[in-house]
Chain A
Amino acid sequence: MKEFFASLYEWFGLIPLYSRDMGDQLRGWDITCTDYIATPWYVYIGWIMIILTGFIYALQYHILDSSRWNKKRHWWIFALLIIALNFLIAFAIPFNTLQAGDFCNQLNLTVSDCIGFGISNALWSFILFLIISSIPLIRRFSTNCRHTTFWKP
């Protein structure tokens, strides 16, 4: 699971938005610089991203499920909310670690790494929301949003 999320966030090694050191830190590289035995942030943040995105999808499509919130502009509002929250979470966790100095001193972590990871998490949450809400089979259970996607109505 760790490697699954790692490859997603590292964009399969194609477009790294943060340094390899940040990748090690998120894999759970120990403060004593010995092994990957610390908190596996990739897994935690990955699941938080999935649950949060799923919850916000459910909020729009099944909990509010209102004609007041079923236009494409509303889809984009919820998408922005998902992006913002997931960015904040993915940025804040490594940034706090960085501020506290609570990581292996051989790793060279910077604020831009935190921002890069935040962006990566936000992008994946957006893609996930896009996919869930584009599949008619899933959204058909909604009363008012069963036709709502990023492009219509």
Chain B
Amino acid sequence: MARLFIFAIGGTGSRVLKSLTMLLASGIKPNSQREFEIVPIIIDPHKSNEDLKRTERLLGNYYSIASEVGLGNGFFNTKITTLDKLVSSENRISGSFTFNLQQVSNTRFKDYIDFNQLNEPSKALADILFSGKSINKRHEEVDLLDIEMDIGFVGNPNIGSVVLNQFKDSDEFKEFASNFNSEDRVFIISSIFGGTGAAGFPTILKNIRDAMNNKNIDGKGFLQDAKIGAVTALPYFNIEKDNDSPIQKSDFIGKTKAALYYYKDNVTGNNSVNSLYYIADDYSGKPYKNDPGDGGQKNDAHFVELASALAVIDFLETSDKELECVGGKAVKPIYKEFGIRNETADIKLSDFEDYTERKISLRLSQLALFRKFLNEHLSNSVEKEAWSNDKPEINKKFVDDSFYRTNVTEFLVSFGEWLKEMSDNKRGFSPFNLESTLDSLIQDRTVKSGFFSGKVDFAMYDDKLSKKSKGKTYSSSQQKLINLFFETTEDILTTKFGLKN
């Protein structure tokens, strides 16, 4: 199976990866000739970043569920794995989804570059390059050189580009390079208006394209001409005004322009990337808390992150021919944006263009319907309904088991939070009425009703589950849960809600 290595950089990288995980969990698959295994690598110096922790946890649960039930069950139908799982010989790297940045924790940037050991001319140069002020994790104003990097680069890509350059010498990069095959692809997720993403994207891209010149790695032959896609999120959210914070909304555009100017020569200008997606939103909505990183940086999910995750799907749907590279340069570089049919502050499924609507409406609704049943009705059905009592049983023991209690429940709780956060955000994405009755689950959709078609409620849901499970064989209760609910939710949503498959 071909692999897609995804480098998710910074807070936006983690949040886009979270959106992608939700899409893949719902059963959305790229319409491509080849199956891809996803290998996410999160790059963020800010280890206590709540967005990173939430995404790691989510990926961990996805991995556990998919490993337990296998592929071909609808939900969780794309393999996601950690880089270390690809390593067969020696396991030198950690089994997490996060790239372990060395010497960042509790280290001042000044110490990282051995500023005190530099000669005077070099010190003077460093002073010029890294002049200015920032804040530390105790919210005190410090010189840029004195910044402690365990809360990230606090919107300073000049620091990020130095620190992230260690990536090329890391064990993770070596393993990635030696496991990279000709049919594999790379996707880089970053934002352009902060510190970590803006610096990380060109740094990682350059290290991949220059792999031939890297003496530390083996098996680099395919890397130079790797098919590389990237999404760069342009300013898309608003933050609270805080004069004491180094993060100011007014700087977003300036930083974006500066980064784009740099990309003009080093990313797009030299055809380094095969397919680049620019995703942005100029809607000035509900401001996020101004947290440079010391408060854990937990930002609500945003529709732009979902749109960015769709870029990954779109990249996988792009044919090999369109992503051809010669000598480390894309032959026909592609640049894309994302648009919706209706300009609205609160996006619904019907506001998407046709292809996007067809791609995600049914599957996302299926996962929402699955979550609704498990949240609100499963306890009433277990050991009572025929589908639950059919072998292998979905009984109270199964519900108490860690697969359901931890992996599935936690994943679906995160899914609910993700939907709610997107819904509360402005611009919002609120396709579902999560707290409503079953028949009004999907916004703007009325249930098909008639004399012979019954009510859409949990009893009907149970009926459909029992009908689908009748005569079927499942390898385990875990597989049954995932497969049965995928088939049933698909049936309900197509027949009762009129969604198209």
B472 → chain A closest CB, angstroms: 12
Interface residues of A in 65-105 (CB under 8 A from B): 66-68, 70-71
**Contact status of A67 and B462, CB under 8 A, knowing A143-B386, A144-B385, A153-B389:** yes
| Bound-state Cα–Cα, A68 to B458, Å | 10
User: Is B85 in contact with chain A by the CB < 8 A criterion?
Assistant: no
| Nearest chain B CB to A50 CB, angstrom units | 27
Q: Which residues of A contact B389 (CB under 8 A)?
A: 147, 153
Closest A-chain residue to B384, C-beta based?
Answer: A153
Query: CB within 8 Å of A: which residues of B?
Result: 381, 383-386, 389-390, 459, 462-463, 466-467, 470
Q: Is the CB of A144 within 8 A of B384?
A: no
Which residues from B are CB-within-8-Å of A67?
A: 381, 385-386, 459, 462-463, 466
Are A143's CB and B470's CB within 8 A?
yes
**CB<8 Å pairs between A and B, sample of 28:** A66-B463, A67-B385, A67-B386, A67-B459, A67-B462, A67-B463, A67-B466, A68-B459, A70-B386, A71-B384, A143-B463, A143-B466, A143-B467, A143-B470, A144-B386, A144-B462, A144-B463, A144-B466, A146-B386, A146-B390, A146-B466, A146-B470, A147-B386, A147-B389, A147-B390, A153-B384, A153-B385, A153-B389
Q: A67-B466, A70-B384, A142-B386 are in contact. List 14 more A-B contacts (CB 8 A).
A: A66-B459, A67-B385, A67-B462, A70-B385, A70-B386, A71-B384, A143-B466, A144-B466, A146-B386, A146-B466, A146-B470, A147-B386, A147-B389, A147-B390
Q: Give Cα A122–Cα B384 distance, bound, in whole angstroms.
A: 28
Q: Is the interface of A mostly helix, strand, loop or mixed?
A: loop
Contacts of A6-35 to chain B: CB distance below 8 A: none
In the assembled complex, the Cα of A80 lies from the Cα of B376 at a distance in Å of: 32
Q: How far is the CA of A146 from the CA of B471 in the complex (A)?
A: 11
CB distance from A55 to the nearest CB of B (A): 22
Contact string, A119-153, partner B, CB cutoff 8 A, digits 1/0? Answer: 00000000000000000000000111111000001
In the complex, what's the smallest C-beta–C-beta distance from A134 to chain B, in angstroms? Answer: 15
What's the nearest-Cβ distance from chain B to residue A142, in Å?
A: 8
Give the 7 A-B residue pairs with the shortest CB-CB distance, closest first. A67-B462, A147-B389, A153-B384, A67-B459, A144-B466, A68-B459, A146-B386
For the complex, what is the distance from the CA of A146 to the CA of B472, rounded to whole Å? Answer: 14
Q: How far is the CA of A96 from the CA of B466 in the complex (A)?
A: 47
A147 partner residues in chain B, CB cutoff 8 A: 386, 389-390
Distance A70 CA – B380 CA, assembled complex (angstroms) = 13
Q: How many A-B residue pairs have CB under 8 A?
A: 37
B394 to chain A, nearest CB (A): 12
B388 to chain A, nearest CB (A): 8
Q: Which of chain A's residues has its CB closest to B470's CB?
A: A143
Chain B residue nearest to A147 in the complex (CB): B389
Instruction: Knowing A66-B459, A67-B463, say if A145 contacts B386 (CB, 8 Å).
Output: yes
Inter-chain contacts of B381 with A (CB < 8 A): 67
Which of chain A's residues have a CB closer than 8 A to the CB of B384? 70-71, 153
Assembled-state Cα–Cα distance A143/B464 (Å): 9
Q: Which residues of B contact A71 (CB under 8 A)?
A: 384
Chain B residue numbers with a CB within 8 Å of A153 are: 383-385, 389
| A75 → B minimal CB distance (Å) | 12
A66-B457 Cα distance, complex, nearest whole Å: 12
A72 to chain B, nearest CB (A): 9
Q: How far is the CA of A67 from the CA of B384 in the complex (A)?
A: 9
Q: Which of B389, B459, B466 has the most CB of A within 10 A?
A: B466
Residues of B within 8 A of A70 (CB): 384-386
How many Å lie between the Cα of A18 and that of B466 in the bound state?
Answer: 46
User: Nearest CB to that of A65 among chain B residues?
Assistant: B463
How far, in whole Å, are A119 and B389 apart by their CA atoms in the complex? Answer: 35
Q: Inside 8 A of A144's CB, which chain B residues have their CB? A: 385-386, 462-463, 466
The answer for the CA separation of A70 and B389 in the assembled complex, in Å, is: 12
* Alpha-carbon distance A10/B386, docked complex (angstroms): 39
Query: In the bound complex, what is the Cα–Cα distance between A77 and B459 (angstroms)?
Result: 19
Q: Which residues of A contact B459 (CB under 8 A)?
A: 66-68
CB distance from B459 to the nearest CB of A (A): 5
Q: For the complex, what is the distance from the CA of A100 to the CA of B459, rounded to whole Å?
A: 50
Chain A, Cβ-Cβ closest to B380: A67
A133 to chain B, nearest CB (A): 14
Closest to A145 in B: B386
Q: How far is the CB of A17 from chain B (nearest CB, A)?
A: 37
Distance in angstroms from B60 CB to nearest chain A CB is 35
Distance of A5 Cα from B381 Cα, bound (Å)? 42
Q: How far is the CB of B135 from chain A (nearest CB, A)?
A: 59
Name, among A70, A142, A144, A145, the residue most crowded by chain B CB atoms within 10 Å (CB to CB): A144
Residue of A nearest to B458 (CB): A67
Q: How far is the CA of A67 from the CA of B470 in the complex (A)?
A: 14
How far, in whole Å, are A129 and B85 apart by their CA atoms in the complex? 58
Instruction: Determine the distance from Cα of A115 to Cα of B379 in the docked complex, in whole angstroms.
Output: 45
Tell me the smallest distance from the CB of A20 to a CB of chain B, in Å. Answer: 48
Minimum CB–CB distance for A120 against chain B, Å: 34
